Amino acid sequence: MAAHAADIDSQREGYAAALAALRAGDDARYRENLVRLDGYVLRGYVEYEFLKDRIERTDAKIIRDFIATNTHTPLPDQLRQRWLQSAAARGDWATFMREYADVPGDTSLACIYLEQRLRADDRSAAVLQHVEQIWKSGQRQPSTCNAVFAQWRRAGFLSTDKVWERIGLAMDARELSLARDLAEYLPPTERVWVERWLAMHRDPARALTTIDHPIETPVARMVVRYGVVRLAYRDSDEAMRRWQELKRKHEFFGEDENYVLHFIGILAAQKRSPSALKWLSAVSAESDDLSLKLWRVYAALWAGELDTARRFIAALPDGERDSTRWRYWSARIAERRGEEAAAKPIYTSLARERDYYGFLAADRIGADYAMQHVSVDATPEEIAKLETRSDILAARELYTLGEIVDARRQWQWAVRNLGDRELQVAAVIARQWGWHDRAIQAVVKSGHPDDLELRFPVIYRDVIEANATKYDIDSGWIYGVVRQESAFVVDARSDAGALGLMQLLPSTGRAGLRQLRLRTRVEDALLSVEQNVQLGVNYLKQVLNRYNGNQVLATAAYNAGPNRVSGWIPDATIDADVWIETIPYNETRGYVKNVLAFAAVYEYRLGKKPTRLTTRMPAVAPRAADGAS
């Protein structure tokens, strides 16, 4: 064991020295240290750093050998991508076509490859389907795709219908400049409709009022109904009034009526309009239109139309209708209608579930929460078999060296094709290393939801409980927010720029630092466990105070922002479960449910009796009493 420790220490020293030599541009010292890395699981990572910037002067055999000998890492794909980019830049098409393999996410290389295939008169179904797949995007594709689309068009495969389809995708994605550019692919007589469509987007009220041309084609009707729905984002009632006027002046069809009622109805439901239920009820629902069917239920629940809600729940697809969510609401509706005998068996069955609806059902009948912890028991043989795989060893070594980003990427590569049982063992291994966020990810992916120690680790307890005491907030709720926000990824970064365990935006972090008089760079603070939790709990307390201690509203505000949540406050008091179920944003709706359920689980994990969800969920009072300024 001592000899092995000495070997690994020497290899780690050689690894660090080789990387330092590369950064210093000292190739000779790099090669001296590379010799020390024979048999070291991260040798490929060092070689990659050497090869990636020397591809043009590296023999193809060396690159192929690297790709062949490092398949336990994601590095071959990365090096191949650079190799192909280099070959294309040099016009070395023989190498490019010989070595090409699809690089996930690199549309530019795919288009270069397809252009070469089309230049060689390859009109196979696979090539044409691949081109069409790239074409069907509402986003602007890399410039390398322009030549492919031009050849595809000259060969007669780009129809006007396909052009309009992509223009529609671009408009839906708010890629207005792309939509305008795509007009060049249309016949000259049809291009004016793109400008009219853009005018509908910019100012729908004005564009709908100044229509001075026939509405006789499918494209014309599509542009008009787009404008009507666009107007509904501002004012659904005005949009519907305009639609009725337009129908009196122009001929539309059932599909147009359905489209308008569908989207205006959903927008109206999101704004809690009294007209939403009427409009949604009038739509002829397609069998696969789950969004419409769900919003019908939400609108009926918000309006208190219990019979209508029950009817719409019954119309949901079997798998959806039988979920814990709609079983709970079937029981709630029965209970509110005085049908306790029908409600109680459903509640009793649901109370065996460990989720938001199971906990609410338990509250309705006074039952204890069913936590049902069942640990993953991995044998020493299973652990040893997986832990000694080269891909897992590489992830562990990177994690040990503190190279967390590469470690996480390597781990994802290692577990990407594991079966459920192997994922469960991988979760146990990650926990043994202290890598709790990877343990959570692996066990959740494995389909084993019952190991609460893996799914809900009690870490950073001193920090969380100290802030819970300081701000008079229960630690279970804080843990619930952390678990939902980052799943304990300390350096988590969202697309919106939120950072750290409690996913705070830099602007929120700066305000908190000023308030707490902490002299720290905001990014450093947000990536620090101690300061991120302090700033996060401080902000959680602010939104809790804003909403008079209502955890439901505070939780929603932590996710969606206080201004939005204040706009969702009802005109009359409403039960909290109805308010949560009808939150306009899907993300926030799921977020609030998860945080509340996770809070109960964490109280159990902390050795406490879980606070009833109904205690955390007081009725939501009208705007005048919401505490917002």
pLDDT digits (tens, 9 = 90+) for 437-465: 999 999 999 999 999 999 999 999 999 99
- The residues with which 499 forms a beta bridge, in sequence order, are 493, 504
pLDDT score, position 4: 58
pLDDT digits (tens, 9 = 90+) for 576-611: 999 999 999 999 999 999 999 999 999 999 999 999
CB of 324 within 8 A of CB of 358? Answer: yes
- The residues with which 620 forms a beta bridge, in sequence order, are 574
For 103-139, b where at least 16 C-beta lie within 10 A, e where not — what string?
A: beebbbbbbbbbbbbbeeeeeeeebbebbeebbebbe
Closest-CA residue to 482 (of 423, 388, 558)? 558
Contacts of 286 (CB under 8 A, 6+ apart): 292
Residue 452: φ, ψ to 5° = -70, -25
Alpha carbons 128 and 124: distance in angstroms, whole number: 6
For 293-303, b where at least 16 C-beta lie within 10 A, e where not — what string?
A: bbbbbbbbbbb
List the alpha helices (DSSP H) in 250-323.
254-270, 276-281, 290-303, 306-314, 318-321
Q: Give the confidence band of 626 by pLDDT, cuts at 50, 70, 90.
A: very low
pLDDT score, position 624: 61
Closest-CA residue to 463 (of 524, 537, 404)? 537
How big is the CA angle at 564 (ends 279 and 554), to the nearest 5 degrees? 120
Q: Is the pLDDT of residue 130 over 50?
A: yes
pLDDT digits (tens, 9 = 90+) for 333-375: 999 999 999 999 999 999 999 999 999 999 999 999 999 999 9
Contacts of 344 (CB under 8 A, 6+ apart): 331, 365
Token pair in block for residue 152: 């595809």
Residue 433 half-sphere exposure, CB side, CA atoms within 13 Å?
26
Does 380-449 carry CATH code 1.10.1240?
yes
Mean pLDDT value of segment 30-59? 96
Grouping H, G, I as helix, E, B as strand and the rest as coil, residue 165 is: helix
Helix 107-119 vs helix 75-90: crossing angle, to nearest 10: 50
Contacts of 242 (CB under 8 A, 6+ apart): 205, 208, 228, 231
- Cα 434 to its chain centre, rounded Å, is 25
Q: Is the pLDDT of residue 100 over 80?
A: yes
Burial group, residue 274, by CB count within 10 angstroms (0-12, 13-18, 19+)? exposed
Token pair in block for residue 277: 């239920």
Q: What is the CATH number of domain 461-625?
A: 1.10.530.10
Alpha carbons 339 and 38: distance in angstroms, whole number: 74
pLDDT score, position 335: 97
pLDDT score, position 351: 98
Radius of gyration of the chain (CA): 29
pLDDT score, position 629: 41
Mean pLDDT value of segment 495-510? 97
Length of the chain: 629
Closest-CA residue to 63 (of 96, 22, 21, 35)? 96
List the alpha helices (DSSP H) in 304-365.
306-314, 318-321, 324-336, 340-350, 356-365
Return the biggest CA–CA distance within the chain: 89
Residue the block writes with tokens 């990572």 = 45
Q: Give the confidence band of 382 by pLDDT, cuts at 50, 70, 90.
A: very high
pLDDT score, position 317: 93
CB of 407 within 8 A of CB of 395? Answer: yes
Grouping H, G, I as helix, E, B as strand and the rest as coil, residue 493 is: strand
User: In the chain, what are the domain boundaries?
Assistant: 191-311, 380-449, 461-625
The three state secondary structure string of 451-491 is: CHHHHCCCCCHHHHHHHHHHHCCCHHHHHHHHHHHCCCCCC
Range with lowest mean pLDDT among 283-297, 306-320, 522-536, 568-582: 283-297
Mean pLDDT value of segment 189-200? 96
Q: List the catalytic residue out of 353, 397, 485, 603.
A: 485
- The residues with which 493 forms a beta bridge, in sequence order, are 499
Alpha carbons 249 and 252: distance in angstroms, whole number: 10
CB of 527 within 8 A of CB of 491? Answer: yes
Mean pLDDT value of segment 32-44? 96
How big is the CA angle at 584 (ends 583 and 590), to the nearest 5 degrees? 55
Contacts of 54 (CB under 8 A, 6+ apart): none
Residue 504: φ, ψ to 5° = -95, 140
Token pair in block for residue 88: 């294309």
Active site residue 485: yes
Mean pLDDT of all residues belonging to the chain:
95
